[in-house]
Amino acid sequence: AIKSSLAEKKVLINGGPTYEYIDPVRFIGNHSSGDTAVYLAWEAHNRGAEVTLVLGPTKYKNENFPFAVKHVTSAREMLDECLQLSVNANVVICSAAVADYRPKVTYDQKIKKSDQNLVIELEKNPDILAILGQSKREQQLLIGFALETENQFENARKKLLDKNADAIVLNSPSQTTGFSTPTNQVTVIFRDGTTAASQLVLKEKLASWLWDTFINTLHL
């Protein structure tokens, strides 16, 4: 099959976890691998797009890619990069597993253990996808991900509308799907109610399927 071209398109993708520091050696994070974002970036690059990847802390820290990569740590750093870069982007894909909360205070020194319990107050992080949805330009396409465990379809559809995205990629955590496995199975939901379900495949292959699906349905 001839792969659709993304030539002339500027694509911005975020991925991986964010780390929210409690003190110099401890943080709140998650097990997102960043693999899906990296494969989506490779696939877009191979189809001729000008790609920028904004990645949280992952195993890809020292890897050389043939496209631009910005490494960030926290949700706020990821938001800053994405806001700047989205100004020029034709397509934005938010696949990062952004921490919903961060410690209200980050201690300068390692917190000392005491006999008391410790309470860490958390405050809300910005929702990057929702903010990019608010500043979305006409013609710009915005795609999000949703990892759901219950009422999956309804929850994902609500996110699509609430965050002003053009498509949302629904997946669920299991032994073969979700964010730290080599394979995944997804359903893409579009604003007009159209859906497209993938097979259970390696994430490399899924990236190619996802671009085919976005290109066909969103007329990229």
Contact indicator for 23, 102 with CB cutoff of 8 Å: no
Output the CA angle 6-4-63, nearest 5 degrees: 55
Considering only CA atoms, give the Rg of the chain.
18
215 is in an annotated binding site: no
The residue among 110 and 158 lying less far from ligand C5P, judged by its C-beta, is 158
Nearest residue (CB) to ligand C5P, 68 versus 131: 131
Q: Is 100 annotated as a binding residue?
A: yes
Rounded CA-CA distance 73/14 in Å is 12
Minimum distance, C-beta of residue 110 to ligand C5P, in the bound complex (Å): 27
Instruction: Confirm if 165 and 144 have CB atoms less than 8 A apart.
Output: yes
Bridge partner list, 141: 91
Beta carbon of residue 115, minimum distance to ligand C5P (angstroms, whole number): 35
Cα–Cα distance for residue pair 79/37, rounded to 1 Å: 16
Asked whether 53 and 69 are in contact (CB, 8 A), the reply is yes
129 has binding-site annotation? yes
State the minimum distance, in angstroms, from the CB of residue 148 to ligand C5P: 7
Distance CA 120, CA 23 (A): 11
Active site residue 14: no
The span from the CA of 193 to the CA of 165, in Å, is: 13
Annotation-wise, does 110 bind a ligand? yes
Nearer to ligand C5P, 48 or 69 (CB): 69
Residue from 30, 46, 90, 164 carrying the catalytic annotation: 30
Q: Which residues of this protein are in contact with ligand C5P, per CB under 6 A?
A: 75, 94-96, 98, 100, 125, 127-129, 144-146, 159
Q: How far is the CB of 89 from ligand C5P (least distance, A)?
A: 15
Task: Say whether 124 counts as a known binding-site residue.
Answer: no
Question: With respect to ligand C5P, which residue has the nearer C-beta, 57 or 110?
Answer: 57
Which among 84, 6, 98, 80 is positioned nearest to 43, based on CA atoms?
A: 6
Specify binding-site residues: 100, 110, 126-129, 145, 159, 163
Tell me the catalytic residues: 30
Specify binding-site residues for CTP: 100, 110, 126-129, 145, 159, 163
